[in-house]
């Protein structure tokens, strides 16, 4: 397994990470816990050292799963988790009551995440979404305190805008920014990636396979369970999926030339953008995990990248990434 360093931080991780959310969240039915533990062990065996979870996944149960599964590999793997949602204390589950990145809340979440993850320090602690009610300087200061106390190793931001990243970085160096980035969602290229490059911050794309669409295995006839977030996203309506088929045709054409699948071309394209980019595709099946890992060996030449770029410039992606209420929580 190739390894990459997230920016100037010297945080070294496998070239591909693993998104763990759907192992115990956003699914119906929830996958069997013991099967997911065995799957996480298999990922470590294959060289994956970078695992992504969050307090809100489940909520709480995903951190517990990752913590239990990876406890035997403490010191050999890097676990990223996130803070920033407010939970209803009566229901103990719903993040819909809003955002909360007050310093006292960040420190409370850190203590509980440490216990669930079964670690002495959180490797990478992201603010899950920017809280408009809390200055980012206060957020960065709270994480800086946790770093000084030895409870957190690195600070990250998720779905933050470039100016927020810059302001946070002046208080506590940001190790990584996590945002959606793929062949069919490239907004990060405008301001966020240039800011990361200038400041020496790593970039961690989530949904690098377009929540499964870029694998070519989803079409307009695919159905999603009501618990699946894709059932609520404009880009995954049957009409949008049919209209966006040109992207899959492009990936399949390049893949045929390289002896690779559409998913492998999509991941290879991301890996070719910058050496400090580490995608975190989510998977729960060994065949998908092995397919994703094999993308690291797919070499896209400058000519290949130009061909992809030229073809993409002629394709207009249909459907918004998020509905308005979710869109308002990103890029701030």
Structure tokens at 134: 């809390």
The answer to whether 320 touches 235, Cβ cutoff 8 Å, is yes
Give the dihedral sign, CA 12/292/281/186: positive
The answer to whether 274 touches 7, Cβ cutoff 8 Å, is no
CA distance 147 to 263: 37
Please say if 57 is a catalytic residue: yes
Helix/strand/coil percent split, the chain, to 5: 45, 15, 40
The phi and psi torsions of 102 (rounded to 5 degrees) equal -65, 145
The phi and psi torsions of 78 (rounded to 5 degrees) equal -115, 125
The phi and psi torsions of 111 (rounded to 5 degrees) equal -65, -45
Given the residues 57, 181, 213, 236, the one annotated as active site: 57
Torsion of Cα atoms, 128 then 132 then 138 then 143, to 10°: 0
Residues taking part in catalysis:
57
């Amino acid at each position: 397994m190739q390894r990459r360093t997230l920016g100037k931080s010297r945080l070294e991780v496998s070239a591909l990470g693993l998104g763990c959310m759907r192992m115990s969240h956003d699914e119906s039915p929830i996958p069997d816990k013991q099967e997911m533990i065995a799957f996480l062990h298999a990922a470590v065996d294959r060289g994956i050292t970078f695992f992504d979870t969050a307090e809100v996944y489940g909520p709480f149960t995903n951190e517990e799963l990752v913590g239990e599964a990876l406890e035997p590999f403490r010191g050999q793997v890097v676990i990223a988790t996130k803070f920033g949602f407010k939970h209803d204390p009566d229901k103990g589950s719903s993040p819909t009551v809003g955002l909360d990145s007050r310093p006292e809340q960040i420190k409370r979440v850190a203590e509980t995440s440490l216990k669930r993850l079964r670690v002495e320090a959180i490797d990478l602690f992201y603010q899950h979404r920017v809280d408009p009610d809390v200055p980012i300087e206060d957020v960065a200061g709270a994480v800086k305190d946790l770093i000084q106390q030895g409870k957190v190793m690195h600070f990250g931001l998720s779905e933050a805008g470039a100016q927020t990243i810059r302001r946070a970085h002046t208080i506590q160096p940001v190790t990584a920014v996590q945002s959606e980035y793929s062949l069919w969602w490239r907004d990060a290229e405008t301001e966020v990636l240039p800011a990361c490059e200038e400041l020496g911050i790593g970039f961690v794309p989530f949904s690098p396979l377009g929540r499964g669409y870029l694998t070519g295995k989803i079409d307009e006839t695919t159905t999603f369970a009501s618990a699946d977030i894709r059932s609520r996203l404009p880009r995954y309506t049957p009409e949008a999926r049919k209209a966006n088929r040109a992207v899959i045709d492009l990936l399949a054409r390049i893949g045929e030339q390289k002896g690779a699948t559409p998913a492998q071309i999509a991941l290879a394209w991301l890996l070719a953008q910058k050496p400090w980019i580490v995608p975190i595709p989510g998977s729960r099946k060994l065949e998908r995990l092995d397919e994703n890992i094999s993308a690291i060996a797919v070499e896209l030449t400058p000519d290949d990248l130009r061909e992809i770029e030229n073809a993409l410039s002629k394709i207009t992606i249909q459907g918004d990434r998020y509905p308005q209420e979710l869109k308002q929580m990103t890029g701030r």
